[in-house]
Amino acid sequence: MKFFVDTAEVDQIKELNDLGMVDGVTTNPSLILKSGRDILEVTREIADMVDGPVSAEVVALEADAMIEEGRKLAQIAGNIAVKVPLTWAGLKACKVLSDEGNMVNVTLCFSANQALLAAKAGATFISPFVGRLDDINLDGMELISDIRQIYDNYGYETQILAASIRTVNHACQAALIGADVMTAPPGVIKKMADHPLTDAGLEQFMKDWAKTGQKIV
Ligand code: E4P
């Protein structure tokens, strides 16, 4: 499973990237706001640091304007994935931008039918938002599972990018279902290393080691 980091905070991306944990990065207008940075500047910095796809989102609502913005974002670096919303205009922009050879991430997906349309429009990635479905008492993981089945039924190559991953359970469930990629905030990725039995076991080993009076180096 590929890990994308869902943030525009350069320092946090760098820490995980140095560990080999980063296969790509996703940003959105809210994350750009949170970073306090200029979109073109911060996206360039991230794209220079990371080898994999870096998603940068258009903000226009009409297809032609989305295409114009998408072309500009794609010029930032060779590894930019242009992010467009899953609207009819976004699907039109997806088709044009992907036909031009750009990676396209279709975002704000909340149904299997939307995901089917994105695949037909040539999306490189489809981003179903798990956490936001859970927020309204629906099952985000069921959506990942439905999309996996539909894409496998027909051999669509669009990659399922499980997004709005908020918990370590989300991460594990998405991997079990077979999402190609998950994007999660740095904190969630780091929490995947935690287990209380690891902490307890380590504490016991340290106590026993101290009693041996030995040193390794
Ligand atoms: C992904 O591309 C989105 O930016 C992100 O996962 C949304 O997550 P949120 O619902 O926690 O804001």
Residue nearest to atom 1 of ligand 1 (CA): 163
pLDDT tens per residue across all 217 residues of the chain: 999 999 999 999 999 999 999 999 999 999 999 999 999 999 999 999 999 999 999 999 999 999 999 999 999 999 999 999 999 999 999 999 999 999 999 999 999 999 999 999 999 999 999 999 999 999 999 999 999 999 999 999 999 999 999 999 999 999 999 999 999 999 999 999 999 999 999 999 999 999 999 999 9
Q: Is 190 a catalytic residue?
A: no
The DSSP symbol for 101 reads T
Q: What is the pLDDT of residue 54?
A: 98
> What is the model's pLDDT at position 184?
98
* Residue 120 Cα distances to 52, 95, 155, 197, angstroms: 24, 9, 11, 46
Q: Which of 35, 86, 129, 160 to mutate to test the pocket of ligand 1 (most atoms within 8 A of CB)?
A: 129
Cβ of 163 closer than 6 Å to ligand 1, yes or no, is yes
Model confidence pLDDT, tens digit, residues 163-202: 999 999 999 999 999 999 999 999 999 999 999 999 999 9
Q: Is the CB of 166 under 6 A from ligand 1?
A: yes
**60, 85 in Cβ contact below 8 A?**
no
Judge contact between 98 and 121, C-beta under 8 A.
yes
Centre of ligand 1 to C-alpha 209, Å, is: 44
- One-letter amino acid for residue 159 of the chain: Q
Nearest alpha carbon, ligand 1 atom 12: 164
Q: Is the CB of residue 150 less than 8 Å from the CB of residue 178?
A: no
pTM: 0.96
| Atom 6 (ligand 1) nearest CA | 164
- pLDDT for 77: 98
What local confidence, expressed as pLDDT, does residue 70 receive? 98
Give the single-character DSSP code of 77: -
- For residue 186, how many C-alpha atoms fall within 13 Å in the half-sphere facing its CB? 14
Residue to substitute in 125, 164, 188 for testing ligand 1 pocket (most ligand atoms within 8 angstroms of CB): 164
> What whole-number distance in Å separates Cα of residue 103 and Cα of residue 107?
13
Query: pLDDT digit string (tens) for 144-167?
Result: 999 999 999 999 999 999 999 999
Point out which residues pair with 129 in neighbouring strands.
Answer: 163
Q: What confidence score (pLDDT) does residue 45 get?
A: 98
